[in-house]
Amino acid sequence: MTVNSVKPAGDSAEYSSGALLELSKVTKRFGGLVAVQDVDLVIKPREIISVIGPNGAGKTTVFNLITGIYRPTTGNILLEGKSLVGDNPDQIVARGITRTFQNIRLFNNMTVLENVLVGQHTQLKAGLLGSLFRPPRVKQEEEAARKRALDLLTFFGTALLERQDEFVMNLSYAERRRVEIARALAANPKLLLLDEPTAGMNEAETLEAVKYVRRLRDELGLTILLIEHKLAVTMGISDRIAVLDYGRKIAEGLPEEVRRDERVIAAYLGKSARVDQEARE
């Protein structure tokens, strides 16, 4: 048995909390650095929760822990009451958690449609032999996958649909972000993790992104955890906001509560003070 397959004790016996995802005292160390420390977080079905905090606060590490890229040093992460610690990233996708990345990760030399099809690979049954010899069953499965990929592109209106055969590298930045979300949807998630979905977008694109994040919840019934730097976006979109600073959760609450929180203001002001300091050095 490998170390990774050992689950920590503490699966909640009857899954009574109603949480879709629950982080319980999660800590991640990289050598001497504590990137995430004792973080608790509960996400209920159909919530939109934001994680904010200065650069280096541990936000992306939290995503990497939830998606199985890293294993918590201590603590537990439960999906619908069952630990996912020790599951590998593919297993976690299959259990219903998908993500987008802070720096978009698409296959640039593949088309829009092909990228979305890649997102369905955990759902397809045909193995290598099936794909090589393509019996009718496999062709049917491919056709269904294609149809579903096109449906997913339609979520973003006609623009991506019209560009389905375009190489991803020819798309605008905002369009690539949408393709990445379509790919994440292809695996049929319950929980979608979005790492800075409006980074690098202008104001109009940002407003558009806010609208579709809301539609992902309202129309597709998804639960969404997002990391977002633009405070106006976070405040407008979130049911609750958790604030990380130096790996610790320093505040959590409704947007208006978090906006007024002294520690949050200090963390943000503290950060700009640090940046000023670095700029002077």
Contact positions toward ligand ADP, by CB under 6 A? 30, 33, 35, 53, 55-61
Name the burial class of residue 191, with classes exposed (0-12), middle (13-18) and buried (19+) by CB atoms within 10 angstroms of its CB.
buried
Distances (CA, A) of 278 to 62, 272, 281: 26, 10, 5
User: Cβ closer to Mg ion: 51 or 186?
Assistant: 51
Residue 110: Cβ within 10 Å count: 15
Residue 127: Cβ within 10 Å count: 9
User: Cβ closer to ligand ADP: 59 or 230?
Assistant: 59
User: Cβ closer to Mg ion: 193 or 213?
Assistant: 193
Say whether 226 sits in a helix, a strand or coil.
strand
Q: Give the residue from 161, 160, 127 showing the smallest Cα distance to 141.
A: 127
Say if residues 117 and 146 touch (Cβ distance below 8 Å): yes
33 binds, options ligand ADP, Mg ion, none, Cβ within 5 to 8 A by partner type? ligand ADP
As measured in angstroms, the least distance from the Cβ of 33 to ligand ADP is 6
Site string for Mg ion, 151-170 (x = CB under 5 A): --------------------
CA atoms of 78 and 22, how far apart (whole Å): 5
User: Cβ closer to Mg ion: 29 or 95?
Assistant: 29
As measured in angstroms, the least distance from the Cβ of 270 to ligand ADP is 14
197 binds, options ligand ADP, Mg ion, none, Cβ within 5 to 8 A by partner type? none
72 binds, options ligand ADP, Mg ion, none, Cβ within 5 to 8 A by partner type? none
CA atoms of 147 and 151, how far apart (whole Å): 6
Binders of Mg ion among residues 26 to 85 (CB under 5 A) are 59-60
Binders of Mg ion among residues 244 to 263 (CB under 5 A) are none
As measured in angstroms, the least distance from the Cβ of 248 to ligand ADP is 12
Q: Edge-to-edge strands of the sheet including 191-195? A: 97-99, 191-195, 223-227, 48-52, 240-245, 248-253
Q: What kind and span of H or E run contains 184?
A: helix 173-186
User: Cβ closer to ligand ADP: 7 or 248?
Assistant: 248
User: Cβ closer to ligand ADP: 166 or 261?
Assistant: 261
As measured in angstroms, the least distance from the Cβ of 80 to Mg ion is 26
As measured in angstroms, the least distance from the Cβ of 250 to Mg ion is 17
Q: Give the residue from 102, 113, 109 showing the smallest Cα distance to 169.
A: 109
Sites of contact with Mg ion (CB under 5 A): 59-60, 102
